[in-house]
Structure 1
């Protein structure tokens, strides 16, 4: 695992927690760190009761945003795409074409709604199965750390 600047992991975790709480309040079921078929890993994936898939990329600093160009590879795997940032992050550097969430460890707020861009049915089915299997495996491993 790569080393990060002191405090960054804590801030990233706080934003992820707040985003997850906000998504739950909005009727989504969030899952942290979902690996996509292209090998990339979403910070937060969430499914609505209608099966809509939202993707959230967490950025806690300008350096974090500027060093990461792989986020564009997530777009074909979601119906809505958001950046999530802590309070004080400069919003103007983030692309206007995607949603924006400001969050802390207590919750979050959508500052800019993400446009709806439906993914194809076959990809949706594949992602929903991947999401369900990942969530189920994590649940079992949390209950039984020695499971095979």
Structure 2
């Protein structure tokens, strides 16, 4: 992982998991993915990063900043029905042996990431894929518009 020149700590996301998500999004973007952070695929679920690959696969990446963060996660298996491939993103000090078999692994920090192990593919049903692609496009568009015109879409749920 290459690192950028030092930047103000205020420019980085506040929470460790958000910092990992930033590095993951950078990696996925260099791979040609369209990555979106903090996406809600269904009520009660929020994935750290969801991305669409150049081939149209949907990947979900859960960022775990420490052992306690991983152990406390009771929802990750619910994310499997919303992706073709599921990955964990962890920092260099995380004990990889804790992570379940059959999942991908990305080593990340706030500046970038490295794909360590590709997750096996489990193709989504066509109807679910179509709905997810629509939802990702809608949320991405709303967030982009909010950057361009924050007052114009204030109060919108996205």
Q: CA deviation at 1:28?
A: 0.6
Deviations 1:107-135 (A, max 9, x none): 11111111111000000000000000000
Q: Distance in 2 between matches of 1:63 and 1:23?
A: 26
Q: What value does the CA root-mean-square deviation take over the aligned residues? A: 1.3
Q: TM-score, normalised by structure 1?
A: 0.91
> 2:134 corresponds to which residue?
129
* More displaced stretch, 94-103 vs 33-42: 33-42
**How far did 1:14 drift?**
1.9
- Report 1:1-148 matches (<5 A): 9-148=14-153
**Alignment partner of 2:93: what SS?**
coil
Cα distance in 1 between the residues matched to 2:80 and 2:141: 25
Gaps of 5+ in 1: 1-7
Structure 2: runs of 5+ lacking an equivalent: 1-12, 154-158
Which 4+ runs in 1 deviate beyond 6 A? none
Deviation at 1:10, TM superposition (A): 3.5
Most deviating of 22-31 and 8-17: 8-17
Deviations 1:22-80 (A, max 9, x none): 10111111000111124311100000122110000010011111111100000010000
